[in-house]
Amino acid sequence: MRKKNIKDIKDLRGKKVFLRVDFNVSLNNGDVANDTRIVEALPTIKYLLSKGAKLVIASHLGRPKGKVDPKYSMLPVVMRTEKHLGKKIHFIPQYWKEEALGKIQLALGDGDIVMIDNLRYQPGEEKNDKKFAKHLASMADIFVNDAFAATHRAHASIVGIPEYLPAYAGFLLEKEIDVISKVLEKPARPMVAIIGGAKTPEKIAVINKLLEVGDTVLLGGAIANTFLAAWGYGMGRSIVDHEMIEMARVIFWKTTREHFALILPEDVIISDEMRLKEPKIVRHDQVANDAVIYDIGPATCKYYKQIMSTAKTILWNGPMGLFEDKRFAQ
């Protein structure tokens, strides 16, 4: 059954819309380093504004662990979004307080926007606390989810709010679901998936699903570190999810019993923790105890390109390295 999207809403003028987006962007010295996620949400934002909706935009940013931490403030995101829209956005920092509801009401006219601060400043977000979800829902008349990358989470702003408000999908969520559905249902073969990034539990869930439908998975980023560590290689001071090492071993075991290839980097680019040393290319089994892996190496890139050139379906999820640093953005 097709999920209801925002075009199914008959009359948006004057309606307050709680728009859940994924603006979990990388920051550099208090500025947005990469605004791809903001840009991807613009079609939904612009459509809602064009119909006269009053927008309450909300997202998480980083992992403040249920406490207010200024380094995870949404203010830099507000400023970057304003630049893209050419429009003022009212920022509501302490949105969890009852008086914030009045401030939101006063700030919103037809076609206006507020953005509340980091949803994860409150422990009720990740716990899917009903009282917190109800508070968020009281800010609006309609709920729109456009946060595809966060939709699998049982958090208050994802699954809690729809218990109190009519819920619709934004354009980005709808597009991503359509693409993934087509890829997973009838992929043209061979199918190659490139999996990177740092959220190891989520990536392992993706890999488990790909075991059922894919042919080859190429690993990079911190997820590759965890799998290399599972093989017994030293990763120095690199990011490794030690709690997921046993699960990585289980996946290795599964791949030996199925027609499925899981490929790890053969070389990596390393530096020190502060990234002060000149980056160095080493084999994956030559990472020094004080080194940190920041990217896959050139030999791995070349090999991965060869595999990708034979694919008829390519699914890419997450970066291969620390692309925010130009030295690791190749």
pLDDT at 207 over 90: no
- Edge-to-edge strands, sheet with 292-296: 280-283, 267-271, 292-296
DSSP readout, 152-215?
Answer: TS--IIIIIGGGTS-EEE-HHHHHHHHHHHHHHHS--SSEEEEE-SS-HHHHHHHHHHHHHH-S
| Residue-level pLDDT at 330 | 72
Q: How far apart are CA 1 and CA 230, in angstroms?
A: 41
Assess contact for 318 and 223: CB atoms under 8 A.
Answer: yes
Which residue type does 112 have? D
Alpha-carbon distances, residue 19 vs 74, 148, 226 (angstroms): 15, 12, 35
Per-residue model confidence (pLDDT) at position 258:
66
Task: Give residue-wise pLDDT tens across range 23-55.
Answer: 999 898 889 999 999 999 999 999 999 999 999
Share of the chain above pLDDT 90, in %: 74
For residues 19 and 55, is the Cβ–Cβ distance under 8 A?
Answer: yes
Annotated binding site for ATP: 203, 324
Q: pLDDT band at residue 322, thresholds of 50, 70 and 90?
A: confident
Note the pLDDT of residue 267. 98
What amino acid is encoded at 275 in this protein? R
97-107 confidence digits (pLDDT tens): 999 999 999 99
pTM of the predicted model as reported, rounded to 2 decimal places: 0.73
> Which residue ranges are tagged as binding site for substrate?
22-24, 60-63
Residue-range domains of the chain with CATH: 6-174 (3.40.50.1260), 187-328 (3.40.50.1260)
Q: 52-68 pLDDT, tens per residue?
A: 999 999 999 999 999 99
- Residue 233: predicted pLDDT: 96
Question: Each residue of 261-319: pLDDT tens digit?
Answer: 999 999 999 999 888 789 999 999 999 999 999 999 999 999 999 999 999 999 888 88
Which strands form 54-58's sheet, in the order they lie side by side? 90-92, 113-116, 54-58, 16-20, 142-145, 167-169
> Is residue 76's pLDDT more than 60?
yes
Binding site, annotated residues? 22-24, 37, 60-63, 120, 153, 203, 324
Q: What is the mean pLDDT of the chain?
A: 92
Binding residues for (2R)-3-phosphoglycerate: 37, 120, 153
pLDDT at 1: 44
φ, ψ dihedrals at 280, nearest 5° = -135, 140
